[in-house]
Amino acid sequence: MTLLLEPDQIRGLTLWRPWPWAFTHADKRVENRPRRPPRALRYLAFHSGLTFDADAAIRMWEGRYGTAAKAVWCDSEAHPHSVITFVARVDGVREVKDDLGGRLRYVDTMQPVTRPWVTGPVVIETPEVIVLPTPVACKGAQGYWRLPPDVFQQVRDQVALATRTERDGKQEKEGAPSAGS
């Protein structure tokens, strides 16, 4: 993924721990919020907050979100806080609601929700996640918040480094001789 981040295209979003871990280690690719993000939003910089959601960690460990999530560490000390750890591309925003029979459905299609991570009421689709090589220290905030200029520049630099490293790794792998050569 090539990113040319501009300050108006990205917002910070603070998550309780271990939810950031679920994105970077357990293939969580949606974020549930009570309200829609700004329309111009193209990327979210996910910030690991101070609060640790032990109940969520236990649900992950029990396998309620799939097999990969069962590897979560339930110790809050295993999850860094007060840092931006990854950036995700926003691919769409959908709403879900209970169909009064206890099942969630997407409002736009009325199709049932089948993904374990989706709880709504607003679902932000984030199919591409870029883990920052070095997390960026900063204070978080509530809601969708603007990154301070120095934090924005550090995040932008880390995204460039991560995407360059990923691209170089793919080129190296594609250019490597096969085992039969």
Task: Find out whether 73 and 41 touch, Cβ atoms under 8 Å.
Answer: no
- Alpha-carbon span 164 to 3, nearest angstrom: 10
Q: Measure the CA angle with vertex 108, ends 103 and 109; round to 5°.
A: 65
Task: Find out whether 122 and 34 touch, Cβ atoms under 8 Å.
Answer: yes
Whether a cis peptide bond, with omega within 30° of 0, leads into 112 is: no
- The radius of gyration of the chain from alpha carbons, rounded to an integer in Å, stands at 18
**Is 72 domain-assigned?**
yes
**Is 106 domain-assigned?**
no
Q: pTM here?
A: 0.87
CA 105 vs CA 41, 51, 92, 102, 111: distances in Å: 24, 30, 16, 10, 5
Matching residue, tokens 């984030």: 126
**Is 181 domain-assigned?**
no
Q: What integer pLDDT is reported at residue 138 of this predicted model?
A: 97
Q: How many CA atoms lie within 13 A of 122 on its CB side?
A: 10
**Is 171 domain-assigned?**
no
**Is 167 domain-assigned?**
no
Burial class (CB in 10 A: 0-12, 13-18, 19+), 170: exposed
Task: Compute the CA torsion angle 164, 2, 146, 45 (nearest 10 deg).
Answer: -70
Q: Which residues of the chain have pLDDT under 70?
A: 1-4, 166-181
Q: What integer pLDDT is reported at residue 40 of this predicted model?
A: 85
Domain count for the chain, please give it: 1
Q: What integer pLDDT is reported at residue 169 of this predicted model?
A: 60
Coil, strand or helix: which one is 48? strand
**Is 17 domain-assigned?**
yes
Domain range for 19: 8-92+124-161
Q: Which of 85, 12, 81 is nearest to 53 (CA)?
A: 81
Coil, strand or helix: which one is 40? coil
Task: Find out whether 94 and 107 touch, Cβ atoms under 8 Å.
Answer: yes
